[in-house]
Amino acid sequence: MDAPLIFNVQKFSTHDGDGVRTTIFFKGCPLRCHWCHNPESQRYDKELMLHHHKCTACGSCVSRCPEGANQILDGKLFFNRALCTACGNCVDWCPTEAREIVGEEYTVDELVKEAKKDLIFYEQSGGGVTLSGGEVMDMKNFDFVVELCRKLHKEGISVYIDTSGYAPYERFEKILPYVDVFLYDIKRITREEHIEYIGVDNALILENLKRLSDAGAGLYIRIPVIGGVNASPASITRAINFLKENNIKARQINLLPYHDIGKGKYAGLDRPYEDTKMLIPDKNEMEQFKTMFEEHGFSKVYIGG
């Protein structure tokens, strides 16, 4: 079966679910969140990331590129991304490691083998494997994802899926027997704001959440909180009302404060970072939002996660 691309297998992760986890990041996502901190996850193909701060314009990459995408002019490197095929030739010859190819193929068995290396840590901490992205549920060869979850489940490894919910519900039904928890993002409640900041309508996302809750799926609701966007009592109230009115059976709520740690990656991919409206929320604000959820009967509410 054709394999989706993986852009990172992160060991000893403690922010993608319970316990110590191995997080497998899939490449490709149909959303375009303004605050995305993994821009390398957005496209489905391999890409070259150029770390400009490491480049010394030594010229080693110029002769190694079969497409002529690299030039040194006036002592500076000029990289024509439109010509790049992400073949990786230049990466092997870069003495400062300023270049890397984002996206690698794995088989299901290779990923399971990698996950099993840390079985002792899962057992001691209540951890396991989290599939993240990108958007795992949108992979073109979804059978690969199902088979990976099935084999991890067979090995007794807990499986969590970090998802935006933007995929046909039939996919969730197919994978549900092998998934312990969905880390389910609610980014915006109103359709207009969701389209503005995420790029797509959220009707499918909210409907899938209701159906998963009705089906008894394990759900951790994760809400990115961004100053200047949704860090307000009114926005948090809309999220609370949606969850209560639809009887969403969430095991916990995670409020995720915005950060701009991934900002430098955008330059490495020659993409703009739309941060003019986005601010890191105040700690007191985050505590206020946490209290709001607790006052409405949500017993497990965490800042971060």
In order of 49, 143, 203, 272, the CA distances from 268 in angstroms are 5, 32, 33, 10
55, 85, 102 — which closes off a domain?
Answer: 102
The burial class, CB within 10 Å (0-12 / 13-18 / 19+), for 95 is exposed
The burial class, CB within 10 Å (0-12 / 13-18 / 19+), for 19 is middle
* Shared domain check, 19 and 52: no
73, 102, 131 — which closes off a domain?
Answer: 102
* Shared domain check, 144 and 112: yes
> Tens of pLDDT along 82-127?
999 999 999 999 999 999 999 999 999 999 999 999 999 999 999 9
* Shared domain check, 161 and 53: no
* Shared domain check, 178 and 68: no
Residue 295 structural domain = 5-44+105-303
* Shared domain check, 287 and 246: yes
87, 102, 117 — which closes off a domain?
Answer: 102
* Shared domain check, 170 and 74: no
What is the model's pTM? 0.94
Helices (H) and strands (E) in the chain, counts: 10, 13
* Shared domain check, 117 and 78: no
The burial class, CB within 10 Å (0-12 / 13-18 / 19+), for 184 is buried
Number of structural domains (the chain) is: 2
DSSP 168-214: -HHHHHHHGGG-SEEEEE---SSHHHHHHHHSS-SHHHHHHHHHHHH
> Tens of pLDDT along 154-175?
999 999 999 999 999 999 999 9
* Shared domain check, 155 and 66: no
* Whether pLDDT at 230 is above 80: yes
